[in-house]
Amino acid sequence: MTTTLNIAAIGDLHITRKSAGVWQPIFAQANERADVLLLAGDLTDYGLPEEAHILVNELSRTVKIPIVAVLGNHDFESGKQTEVKAILGEAGVVVLDGDTHEVGDVGFVGVKGFCGGFGRRTLEPWGEPMIKEFGREAMNEGMKLESGLARLRTRQRVALLHYAPVETTVAGEPLEIFPFLGSSRLEEPLNRYAVAAVFHGHAHRGAPEGRTREGIPVYNVAAPLLRRTYPDAPPFRIVTI
């Protein structure tokens, strides 16, 4: 017998030293309304262990449902991402980086993702060594995502990212920065494995919803975007799978 799973998703918390107590009411609402909480990267502001400790304290006081997360670019800022991940893991947060996690009969795959642009304007790893390295990073993230999706045998698959896999959910941002908001290399595995839903953050001025070329729903759950788009609702998205 299949059952439904209510997912609460939010990204771009940007926890700072001054965030203590700020997120507890929001997490409490997510805990009441969902079966699992997804955190779509940029959990900390400067990638500092002390910021991660504040976040896990906020979560531990209110959230009793499973928590699945990926890191974002801000979480790498201070070069302490391994320590940040460990702090989250010790508190029971499942931090994915090409890994999978199952909740009931829904399987989750998470990667940070990377830049590179969309469609025909996607940057190719060609030319100078630095451009090749840049392009390979996006390709590697796409391959990690595909590998994780291939391992899952659950009824449904859900992808959790930080960077956007499609252009539609970054629409509203300045055109000049589109290539730095995500990459179409993340979209190809999503279509190939027909995931049920995709969640990402990063694009604070983007659009809350979009679809892949194959019609898979993509949700931009960056908290600043959700606050602005839905000012009368808490800044997380509820999706039922």
Domains of the chain (ranges; CATH) run: 6-240 (3.60.21.10)
Question: Helix 81-90 and helix 49-60: axis angle, to 10°?
Answer: 20
Q: Give the model's confidence band at 167: pLDDT under 50 very low, under 70 low, under 90 confident, else very high.
A: very high
State yes or no: pLDDT of 1 exceeds 60: no
- Going by C-alpha positions, the residue among 151, 146, 176 that lies closest to residue 161 is 146
Q: Give the model's confidence band at 121: pLDDT under 50 very low, under 70 low, under 90 confident, else very high.
A: confident
**E strand or H helix at 188, and its extent?**
helix 187-192
- Going by C-alpha positions, the residue among 46, 94, 93, 54 that lies closest to residue 72 is 46
Name 107's bridge partners. Answer: 102, 157
Residue 160 phi/psi, 5-degree rounding, is -120, 120
Residue 157 phi/psi, 5-degree rounding, is -120, 140
Residue 2: per-residue pLDDT: 55
State yes or no: pLDDT of 130 exceeds 80: yes
Structure tokens given for 12: 């771009």
What are the pLDDT digits (tens) for 66-117?
999 999 999 999 999 999 999 999 999 999 999 999 999 999 999 999 999 9
3-state class of 97 per DSSP? coil
**E strand or H helix at 167, and its extent?**
none
Q: Give the model's confidence band at 3: pLDDT under 50 very low, under 70 low, under 90 confident, else very high.
A: confident
Query: What is the C-alpha to C-alpha distance for residues 229 and 80, in angstroms, rounded to an integer?
Result: 32
**E strand or H helix at 18, and its extent?**
none
Query: Taking the model in full, what pTM does it have?
Result: 0.96
